[in-house]
Amino acid sequence: MQKVIFIVEDAFVANARDITRVLDPDSGGAETFQVPLSSDGQPPVTHWAAGLELSEGLLTILKTYTASEFKVYLDNLAAERGREPIAEVTAFPDHIRIYDDGRSHWEVFAVESLQRVILD
């Protein structure tokens, strides 16, 4: 297992959460991407972050599959796990960034020029 940090654009966070609901159904996958971010740490939120432990195989899939290949993979996984399939895959791979190089979330935020937003 490898620690991975994801950054997803706000417009695609709902789809990213749907995807992680299938990928990680037993540990709150639908609750992934709970760290709100913006360039100045103030609303509006422009991005969301999440940290996950992933197998090397899944990480390879996320980094190499096209959107259509990933959709087929997710559909098969959803059926295997008794989950609803996802209508479309819009967040992956074009609107999410994956950091698997051991950086801390703070280092990733700095690279992305993002700061955590404190929501009321």
Class of domain 2-116: alpha beta
pLDDT per position in the chain (120 positions), as tens? 899 999 999 999 999 998 988 887 666 676 789 999 999 999 999 999 999 888 999 999 999 999 999 999 999 999 998 888 988 898 888 899 999 999 999 999 999 999 999 988
| This prediction's pTM | 0.90
Place of tokens 């051991």: 102
* Predicted pLDDT of residue 13: 93
- Residues with Cβ within 8 Å of 69's Cβ and at least 6 positions away in sequence, in order, are none
| Alpha-carbon Rg for the chain in angstroms | 14
- pLDDT at residue 39, as a whole number: 98
Residue 27: predicted pLDDT: 60
Q: What pLDDT was estimated at residue 93? A: 81
Q: In angstroms, rounded to a whole number, what is the distance separating the alpha carbons of residues 45 and 63?
A: 25
Phi, psi (rounded to 5 degrees) for 76: -65, -40
Orientation angle between helical segments 56-64 and 67-81, nearest 10 degrees: 140
Structure tokens at 49: 């972050």
- pLDDT score at 66: 92
